[in-house]
Amino acid sequence: MRRILIVEDEEIIRSALRKLLQHAGYEVSDAGSVDDAEQRFDLQQFDLIISDLRLPGAPGTELITRAPRTPVLIMTSYASLRSAVDSMKMGAVEYIAKPFDHDEMLAAVETILNQAGTPAEPGSVVGINEHDQRESDPSRVMFGDCSAMQKVFTLIRKVAPTETTVLVQGESGTGKELAAQALHKLSPRASRPLISVNCAAIPESLIESELFGHEKGAFTGAVSARTGLIEAADGGSLFLDEIGELPAEAQARLLRVLQEGEIRKVGSTQSRKVSVRMIAATHRDLKAMTRTGEFREDLFYRLNVMQIRIPPLRERESDILVLARHFISRQGERMKKPGLKLSPEAMRSMEKHRWPGNVRELENAIERATILCDDDLITPSLLDLDSTGGEIVIPESLVEGDPVSSREADGSNDLSLEDYFQHFVLENQDRMSETELAQKLGISRKSLWERRQRLGIPRKKISNN
């Protein structure tokens, strides 16, 4: 059993994370500070250390040097997100922003543990041997037996060893980030970092500073110089998810990176060269966006050198049940429920479902069914596909407190759940933060953003004043 150490001073977060990881089948220990962890445990005995960045006493990054053979995942609040870049340069294997989504945390942990291997000897040349190539093959990162996915794998194998910029297109939940991971792992840059950025998750007023860094005094609050995410990816790969959400000024700066291979920090007059392999992803039609002026045409052609389209799950009919069995096996192992299987009715239900949330929706449905299943058979009612299709479940407190939602709940209104979502967000986004909206709707911030994109609901502009 893999051993994980949590170093977090807030008891609520530490306890919640411990339960999450234990439920997933890991052996978990925890401490409230770096010194506490070092006094109580042999840090080298853990397979992974998850630490908050800001702790009483020494910062979480200190664990990178105190446990040099153990991978360290740094957690950071959004306010200190830029400090995470410094963590990566110091040797952290990954960082994750708080508040984090449970699935996001488990996926990060699983990826790190799967990638962990025997450390290279000092001075040795890091390369990709035949065994590494087999382990990094797209079919190891993504699953797909259908012809559409086999074409995707073939494209990834051909383009990965090159320096070509790649544009990954596909609906939300299809696995665009997994494709980026496969492209990076099969590239000559595999030993260097892959920095992932969700362009839609960063406020417009901060996106340039996050990507390109800034000099001290460049703007109010810039009390020290910061390294940008592009510079942090120097020598490795940069994955820009939802690149269609980049504002115009950031698009112009990114074009210079692609054309000249150099960046200039916000507030600086000096440029520096960077060597970054660019992988971008979007669910939007960038070509159509160039016609409306939302996206620069010259940037589109720079990004669209090689295009990889990830098919939606509804176009992968032969993969649905195989994927479902894979998730059942994994969830059953995590939850100590071996031998679970789908009933014939459940299989028919899954084959008929349209899967608007794609593979992510399928995985969530299996996880929910695994939790609720009292015997060895998963039935359609446990999958709960017909009622919500993986969409929003309105909290009872909201239904009771809002007259509009009450009318919807008792059937006197024809609004669907998506209609309700759109109504609630538009009505409340001027007085609620994204976090508050997500909490009221009973979903994660990531899910809130994804549904905004699918329904075309713009996020309120953030004032620079």
Res 266: pLDDT: 84
325 within domain boundaries: yes
Structure tokens at 431: 């007085």
- For residue 77, tell me if it sits in a domain: yes
Examine the fold and report which residue of 336, 362, 388 is the final residue of a domain before the chain moves on. Answer: 388
Torsion of Cα atoms, 242 then 245 then 249 then 252, to 10°? 40
For residues 57 and 86, state if they share a domain: yes
Residue 124 lies in a domain: no
Based on the domain organization, do 197 and 221 belong to the same domain?
Answer: yes
Q: 373 and 410: one domain?
A: no
Domain contains 460? no
In a domain, 461, yes or no: no
Domain count along the chain: 4
Same domain, 337 and 293: no
Asked if residue 329 and residue 248 are part of one domain, the reply reads no
Q: Is residue 125 part of a domain?
A: no
CATH of the domain at 135: 3.40.50.300
- Which residues 6+ apart lie within 8 Å of 270 measured at CB? 264
The predicted-structure confidence for 320-356, as pLDDT tens digits, reads as follows 998 999 899 888 888 888 889 999 999 999 999 989 8
Q: Are 240 and 234 in contact (CB under 8 A)?
A: no
pLDDT tens profile 195-207: 888 888 887 778 8
* Rounded Cα distance, 123 and 228, in Å: 28
Domain range holding 416? 396-455
Is residue 19 located within the same domain as residue 107? yes
Q: What is the CATH number of the domain that holds 80?
A: 3.40.50.2300
pLDDT: is 225 or 63 the higher one? 63
What is residue 54's predicted lDDT score, i.e. its pLDDT? 85
- Judge whether 14 lies within some domain: yes
- Give me the half-sphere count of Cα atoms (radius 13 Å) on the Cβ side of residue 234: 14
Q: What is the pLDDT of residues 380-415, one digit of tens each?
A: 999 988 644 444 444 444 444 443 443 333 433 444
Mean pLDDT of 5-15: 90
Domain of residue 327, CATH code: 1.10.8.60
Residues 72 and 138 in one domain: no
CA dist., res. 144 & res. 150, Å (int): 7
**Is the same domain home to 181 and 294?**
yes
Beta strands in 300-422 (DSSP E): 306-309, 341-342, 377-378
Q: 299: pLDDT confidence band, cut at 50, 70 and 90?
A: very high
Of the ranges 20-24, 87-91, 130-134, 165-169, which is most confident? 165-169
Q: Identify the pLDDT of residue 271.
A: 86
For the entire predicted model, the pTM comes to: 0.60
Q: When comparing pLDDT for 435 and 360, which is higher?
A: 360
Query: Where a domain ends, among 309, 327, 358?
Result: 309
Query: Residue 10 in contact with residue 34, Cβ under 8 Å?
Result: no
* 459 vs 146, higher pLDDT: 146
Q: Within a domain: residue 463?
A: no
Let me know whether 281 and 363 are in one domain: no
Answer whether residue 288 shows pLDDT above 80.
Answer: yes
Same domain? 304 vs 320: no
Q: Are residues 150 and 260 in the same domain?
A: yes
Domain-terminating residue out of 92, 115, 138: 115
- Shared domain check, 254 and 346: no
